Structure 1
């Protein structure tokens, strides 16, 4: 990643003027889809054929609040921010215009819980995991992600260079996220991790000294340290919890008839370079953070 001052100049200017469990995929990324279902045919995926929550509209879910660089100013309907832009790009591929996209707010945990959904798909930095696939469907992945540790400059772990340096740290993360899994499965600290309902609560805990470090995805880490908690620093990226890259996917109801069509739209956006362009536009600052081993 480039330094925080360049992040603010290159990325935050647009974010702040308009007014987050990650490194962007490589420019030549060709990661195989890890979602559920198979791509549907163009005819079968036309809006007139899709049985959506509201006929003739595409209802997209996300959390409240949502943060840059994924969304700007907590307004997903603006289409600004990486995930907001991805959602509208998927809608366009499916044949929906911007005014045919409706947004609904759903908490992270409720979105991935079993049971009927109030959305057609939800976009909220959901990592695709085998466990979650038991309760929901995932689209093909739209982003390759890593988890990152941040800390106050005054923290005892501010100079950490390895996973071993984090063993005695009190770490925190949002509930139900791969950020939390990374703490328990990769870092394995001696102290029980703290769990928070959302990143706002987690950031307050970091600022108040209740935790030594906070684990979030990489773009969110750059935004927090560059714009929200300027006396915080990125310690480093964590290795993946498995041998394969962690990837974000769109969440759909288990067995949804939309899964194949949505995956097909994501695959097309990857193939035509749209996902790469959106990463460059909204996540260009997230490069170069060291990896802890």
Structure 2
């Protein structure tokens, strides 16, 4: 037994004297340093540039002013900025049309926040952050109308539906509700809202938080008929939009993940979108 013990002792000694690989110990600080404010590659040096559309609607923003920190997406954007090391004076806002945000090409913003759903097609042209909000769609109708009393998606088959072009709401109308007649498609959300107001359509399909704003502030005597999932069980999520290949993506992802894990995103959602829990499910 002496020889094996001697060999074991020698092996232990050799391991103890072997050079140490410091790769693992240095990787984490390097990754952390890459996401410090002074290391970020920004559209405007020293400023974090955030894009969104105009007008900026409630409940995503308040008073058409994304810079005031009020409204769900304004609050999320400033929270992400804070995780990246920026205070409010170091954030600037840029007006970016909805469909321009995820069109191919160079961007003049660091990230855009504008209720942009993460889809495979859009991800071919731009980078998305990890999702910051899981979305459901909603149906709005005039209270007392035939379709306002619908309890299921099947009861909406004969409705003339209004919806905005280029949105996942339009996809949801076509693939989930599948109405007998083609929906009326509008270039701007406000045009679809006006169509409901003027009774040119029976119902409007928008994301759920927007539905609450439509019923509260835009269309008198309207109601939320109900909410439904738009992608057959796969959650639809909003993501922050970045230029394809953006060096900021890992850092923005890290910021979103940190806000999730700390419960900050949930708090912001509860503050600005909490009433969304009141709409019945349509199946």
Give the TM-score category using the shorter length. Answer: 0.7 to 0.9
* Match of residue 48 from structure 2: 58
Alignment partner for residue 125 of structure 2, among 123, 135, 160?
135
Displacement of 1:83 in angstroms is 0.4
CA distance in 2, matches of 1:209, 1:78: 35
The answer to whether the Cα contact below 8 Å between 1:41 and 1:261 also exists between their aligned partners in 2 is: no
* Match of residue 276 from structure 1: 266
Q: Give the structure with higher Rg (CA).
A: 2
* Match of residue 204 from structure 1: 194
Unaligned residue ranges in structure 2 (runs of 5+): 1-29
Displacement of 1:154 in angstroms is 4.3
Displacement of 1:242 in angstroms is 3.1
CA distance in 2, matches of 1:242, 1:252: 27
CA distance in 1, matches of 2:115, 2:132: 10
Alignment partner for residue 240 of structure 2, among 240, 247, 250?
250
* Match of residue 79 from structure 1: 69
Question: Helix, strand or coil: the match of 1:137?
Answer: strand
The answer to whether the Cα contact below 8 Å between 2:141 and 2:222 also exists between their aligned partners in 1 is: yes
Alignment partner for residue 289 of structure 1, among 274, 279, 282?
279
Question: Helix, strand or coil: the match of 1:165?
Answer: helix
The structure, 1 or 2, with the larger RCO (C-alpha pairs under 8 Å, 6+ apart) is: 1
CA distance in 2, matches of 1:46, 1:144: 28
Displacement of 1:146 in angstroms is 0.2
User: Structure 1 runs of 4+ off > 6 angstroms?
Assistant: none
* Match of residue 226 from structure 1: 216
Question: Helix, strand or coil: the match of 1:214?
Answer: strand
CA deviation digits over 1:3-35, x for unaligned, max 9? xxxxxxxxxxxxxxxxxxxxxxxxxxxxxxxxx
* Match of residue 192 from structure 1: 182
Displacement of 1:122 in angstroms is 0.5
- How many matched pairs? 254
The answer to whether the Cα contact below 8 Å between 1:60 and 1:119 also exists between their aligned partners in 2 is: yes
* Match of residue 36 from structure 1: none
The answer to whether the Cα contact below 8 Å between 1:76 and 1:84 also exists between their aligned partners in 2 is: yes
Question: Helix, strand or coil: the match of 2:204?
Answer: strand
Higher helix share: 2
CA deviation digits over 1:105-141, x for unaligned, max 9? 1111111111111211010111111111111111011
The answer to whether the Cα contact below 8 Å between 1:222 and 1:286 also exists between their aligned partners in 2 is: yes
Alignment partner for residue 179 of structure 1, among 169, 172, 184?
169
After TM superposition, the score normalised by the length of structure 2 is 0.87
* Match of residue 16 from structure 2: none
CA distance in 1, matches of 2:267, 2:168: 26
After TM superposition, the score normalised by the length of structure 1 is 0.84
CA distance in 1, matches of 2:108, 2:222: 37
* Match of residue 5 from structure 1: none
Unaligned residue ranges in structure 1 (runs of 5+): 1-39
Question: Helix, strand or coil: the match of 1:126?
Answer: coil
CA distance in 2, matches of 1:41, 1:266: 16
